[in-house]
Structure 1
Amino acid sequence: MTNRFLAFFLLIGLLVGALSAQAAANPDAVLGVWKNGEGTGMIQIFKKGDKYYGRLVWLKVANTPEGKPRTDVNNPDESKRNVLLKGLENMRDFTYKGDNKWEDGKIYDPKNGNDYSCEMTLVDPNTLEVRGFIGVSLFGRTDVWKRQVKK
């Protein structure tokens, strides 16, 4: 009888451990395609090494009024103003910090040509809060992105 109780509690312990491991945060949970809060673009978040990056993969207005693909016309570096926006890597160097947070990254805003410090928080499997800021996170703006496609 004692062996049965011991086996039962061992089995319960293993099940609880397995469920806890599944519930633990997944550093790659952020991978996939996300639509920004304005609905004007989609960004694919991907991984290189142990860092996370993002690139523009869809634009609501993909072409200029002349019918040409939009380029990075607001880039402060004149040599980069002919780079296509579609495919532009505009997020870089994010590190997973636990608790569904990725920090120490940078985000480039092609609308104004500025680079900002950035952090991301996965609120639920399909909602990502992206906060761009200058200096400290207190002085910034948060945009809520919605998942379109999982990695």
Structure 2
Amino acid sequence: MKDLLAAIAFAAAATSAMAQMNPVGLWRNVDDKTGEAKAEIRIAESGGALAGHIEKSLKKDGKPVCDECTDDRKGQPIAGLEIIRGGRKAEGKEVWEGGRILDPENGKEYRASFTPIDGGKKLEVRGYLGPFWRTQVWNRIQ
């Protein structure tokens, strides 16, 4: 009986840890230049593709709407704004690639990859523009 209980506890812990090794959840993004927390972003997965929305802006001087956006998000409120579109898990890797991420401060959209690190407690978010990239590390809230 002890062996069975130990196996169940181990399986539950392993399942919980595995569930955390993906980008799905609530994240606090931190500016890679200033170290300042900027927003809380909820990432969900539907049909194998990622979608991420700003749940809450943490910037004191932030704009209420995305004036700089040039697509269907122009003039949309920052709270609730979809900033991540697409991105699918790469086969055999713990990285989600092929998505796009929007920087609502400048309205630019970048190719993006999302890699859970530190046991899923952090998310490495890399935005690409041509051969150049910028990386932020986000912290899991939930």
**TM-score w.r.t. length of structure 1:** 0.71
- Equivalence for 2:93: 99
- Equivalence for 1:53: 51
Residue identity over aligned pairs, in percent, reads 30
Q: How many corresponding residue pairs?
A: 124
Counterpart AA for 2:54? L
- Return the alpha-carbon distance in structure 2 between the equivalents of residues 46 and 62 of structure 1: 26
- SS for the counterpart of 1:36 is strand
After superposing on structure 2, the runs of 4+ consecutive aligned residues of structure 1 that deviate more than 4 Å are 22-28
- Unaligned runs of at least 5 residues, structure 1: 1-14
- Return the alpha-carbon distance in structure 2 between the equivalents of residues 81 and 95 of structure 1: 26
Per-residue CA deviations over 1:128-148 (Å, capped at 9, x if unaligned) read: 100001134xx1000000001
Cα deviation for residue 106 of structure 1 reads 0.3
Structure 2 residue corresponding to 1:116, chosen from 110, 115, 119 = 110
Counterpart AA for 2:51? Y
- Return the alpha-carbon distance in structure 1 between the equivalents of residues 24 and 79 of structure 2: 18
- Return the alpha-carbon distance in structure 2 between the equivalents of residues 145 and 95 of structure 1: 19
- Equivalence for 1:126: 121
CA contact (8 A) 1:27 1:96 kept: no
Structure 1 residue corresponding to 2:28, chosen from 23, 27, 35 = 35
- Return the alpha-carbon distance in structure 2 between the equivalents of residues 26 and 96 of structure 1: 14
Cα deviation for residue 63 of structure 1 reads 7.6
Larger radius of gyration: 1
- Equivalence for 1:82: 75
Cα deviation for residue 49 of structure 1 reads 1.2
CA root-mean-square deviation:
2.7
CA contact (8 A) 1:94 1:105 kept: yes
- Return the alpha-carbon distance in structure 2 between the equivalents of residues 27 and 103 of structure 1: 18
Per-residue CA deviations over 1:96-148 (Å, capped at 9, x if unaligned) read: 11432100110011110101000011112211100001134xx1000000001
- Return the alpha-carbon distance in structure 2 between the equivalents of residues 49 and 27 of structure 1: 18
CA contact (8 A) 1:40 1:61 kept: yes
- Return the alpha-carbon distance in structure 1 between the equivalents of residues 106 and 58 of structure 2: 17
- Unaligned runs of at least 5 residues, structure 2: 1-6, 32-36
- Equivalence for 2:134: 141
- Return the alpha-carbon distance in structure 2 between the equivalents of residues 88 and 117 of structure 1: 18
